[in-house]
Structure 1
Amino acid sequence: MRILILGGTAFLSSEIARQAVAAGHPVTCLARGSAAEPPAGVRWVRADRSLGTDSYAEVAGDWDAVIEVARDPVPATEALAALADRAGHWTFVSSCSVYADHSTPDAPEDAQLLEPLPRGTESTPENYGESKAAIEQETLRAAGGKAHLCRAGLIGGPGDGTDRYGYWPARFARDNGPAVVPDIASHTTQVMDVRDLAAWVLSAAEHGVTGALNAVGDQVPFGDYVEESRTAAGYTGEVLRASEDWLAQHGIDYWSGPDSLPLWLPPGYEGFCTRSNQAARSFGLAIRPWQETLADALADERSRGLERHRKAGLAPATEARLAEALLSGL
């Protein structure tokens, strides 16, 4: 396949490019490259997509597959205008954040969506779901029956820049001091290995898979994930389980960001990590054992440094403060 990736320098798009090159496909990446470069073996077209449709002047000709990962509807819509007629297949890596309801377990792809972000409204982290919904709408309008809306959930594995999935094995590997864990053992986690997601994007393009499909991992109880993290890291310290109310009262954030507890979701998100992946599996989505993803994420965390500053998770000083409060009954 002659593949054009609109991106190719960040976590997922870079992995897609690496796998495509390894499979022998001619790959072009259109990206600014301001933070990183695409992997070796691709043709790199340096372009700033904020310049509009002129950004695509150097990617003339027809493409067997175009892969878009944008979160801002403006460049995504301009790319569709410039390229959709010349693409045999169009993949938009969307998100399960487009769904309006995250409280219902095992919801399929026909669940209600958020209202798309209105044209002229700035795309921000706060309206991420609406932005992705708007791009889905534009993709269907321009690419129609050749469009694959790949609705990704939480992505993990080696190279994860969000610091979420790798937090727990890294924490247990860092030291044997008391570890603060939310008391949510029966809650569900659902993570897709970035390598499996990249392989699915390429496979779906090669086989002409279209429509909206949830690209999410299998469901794993949080308690199982934590126990496997402890075992993989060789942790022998004390685990202090804190109730959700207690953590919230002590200023700890859900999900992501500084002084958060990754994979702990707020009320109303009981279905967020229980999306059905059966439709995608029926079209060939393959998912490796989650224990393998966890082990590889830990190896990646060790290579990057267990003491480094993290974008998500408790800072050691914060965890020590919480542990002291738990042990003293405060």
Structure 2
Amino acid sequence: MRVLVLGGTGYIGPHLVEHALARGHTVTLFNRGKTKPGLFPKVEKLIGDRSDPNGHEALKGRTWDVVYDLPTTNPQWIVNAAAVLKGKVAQYVFVSSTAAYKDFTRSFPDETHPTQEPAPISGPDAAAAPYGNKKVRCEQLVQDAFGAGATVVRPGLIVGPGDLTDRFTYWPVRIEKGGEILAPGTIDDPAQWIDVRDLTEWMVRLGESRTGGVFNAVGPRTVCGIGELLYGIKACFNNDARFTWVPTSFLTAQKVRSWVEMPVWSFTGASTVAFSTSVIEKALASGLTFRPLATTVRDALTWYHARPAAEQEKLRAGIAPEREREVLAAWHAQQSGAK
């Protein structure tokens, strides 16, 4: 295929480009040329600014089989791209988010679940609109412009090498250190994630098969419990790591939040439960596959240990070590008092 990637140098972009090249496709990158400009020296690179209505000049007069739009949360960027690419590409794959859904507290949303109100396309209200509302407007603009050739992918938590949010990486890093570990809720509380390579490799296959439509894109194959995740990670290490499971009610009283201090974890009624229980049968039917958890853990840790020391010392997600000790001490004190 002739593949155009809008962006391509951030988190998921390099993984997608590498796989597309490995599959023998011809790839063109379109971006401002400011982020990691040395990546993919043999790949064609076109320079432009998507925030500029005239910033897509480099794309004019060209055609591609499939376009991958990776970084967009700005509806005006879709308008600007569609003005040049409509009728010039067979398929437009847009990366949205499960944040597009209207009620995050409702469990098991599928692709027909109501979505947020779409954000305005431009103006101050557009800039101030929440992330999910912006994604919904972008989805609509892509579908309006490209019709049956539009593919909307709604990932949840994207994890693995290159993830700067640390929302998954916290757990392998913490478990690798060993000792007593604060574990949230119950082992059956829901958890979902997707390895960035499983996501991007599947997206390349969607382009190869010309598969349109809207897809939730998370894993594993069925919704698992947070315990399955944590014990699965623990199995990768031979150390003294041990979990102390602390009930949700106690964590709430201690102001320990799901997806923040306790990443990946959610629970029934939480404002994050939709992110952890998305229905993925449609994606599975279209070929989404998953690598072993141990592979994700190994590669995420390898990448983490190669990061600058300052980034390793202070993760962007997860409970701070001193706070973890405080909460565990408070929990043990309560348990001792109850006896």
Could you say which residue in structure 2 is the equivalent of 1:116? 118
**Deviates further, 316-325 or 274-283:** 316-325
Could you say which residue in structure 2 is the equivalent of 1:157? 160
Could you say which residue in structure 2 is the equivalent of 1:184? 186
Cα distance, 1:156 vs structure 2:
1.0
Cα distance, 1:268 vs structure 2:
4.3
Within 2, Cα distance between the matches of 1:146 and 1:237? Answer: 49
Within 2, Cα distance between the matches of 1:237 and 1:16? Answer: 35
Listed as ranges, the matches of 1:39-188 within 5 Å are 39-52=40-53, 54-60=54-60, 61-69=62-70, 70-119=72-121, 120=123, 121-123=125-127, 127-173=130-176, 175-188=177-190
Could you say which residue in structure 1 is the equivalent of 2:251? 247
Cα distance, 1:292 vs structure 2:
2.8
Within 2, Cα distance between the matches of 1:29 and 1:164? Answer: 28
1:290 to 290, 293, 297: 293
Within 2, Cα distance between the matches of 1:314 and 1:36? Answer: 31
Over aligned residue pairs, what C-alpha RMSD do you find? 2.2
Q: Is the 8 A contact 2:16 2:200 kept in 1?
A: yes
Could you say which residue in structure 1 is the equivalent of 2:313? 308
Cα distance, 1:311 vs structure 2:
1.0
Q: In the alignment, residue 22 of structure 1 is paired with which amino acid?
A: A
- Which ranges in structure 2 are unaligned for 5 or more consecutive residues? none
Q: Is the 8 A contact 2:258 2:272 kept in 1?
A: no
Q: Is the 8 A contact 2:4 2:27 kept in 1?
A: yes
Deviations 1:147-175 (A, max 9, x none): 101111211112211111121111011x2
Q: Is the 8 A contact 1:9 1:33 kept in 2?
A: no
Identity of aligned residues (%): 30
Q: Is the 8 A contact 1:30 1:45 kept in 2?
A: yes
Q: Give the 3 Å change call, closer, same or farther, for CA 228–264 of structure 1 in structure 2.
A: same
Q: Secondary structure at the match of 2:304?
A: helix
Within 2, Cα distance between the matches of 1:311 and 1:240? Answer: 23
Cα distance, 1:312 vs structure 2:
0.7
- Which ranges in structure 1 are unaligned for 5 or more consecutive residues? none
**Deviates further, 105-114 or 65-74:** 105-114
Q: In the alignment, residue 310 of structure 1 is paired with which amino acid?
A: L
Deviations 1:72-131 (A, max 9, x none): 11112211122122111110111111111334443321111111112332345x711111
Within 1, Cα distance between the matches of 2:239 and 2:324? Answer: 16
Could you say which residue in structure 2 is the equivalent of 1:224? 228
Q: Is the 8 A contact 1:8 1:39 kept in 2?
A: no
Aligned length: 324
Could you say which residue in structure 1 is the equivalent of 2:199? 197
Q: Is the 8 A contact 1:109 1:214 kept in 2?
A: yes
Could you say which residue in structure 2 is the equivalent of 1:280? 283
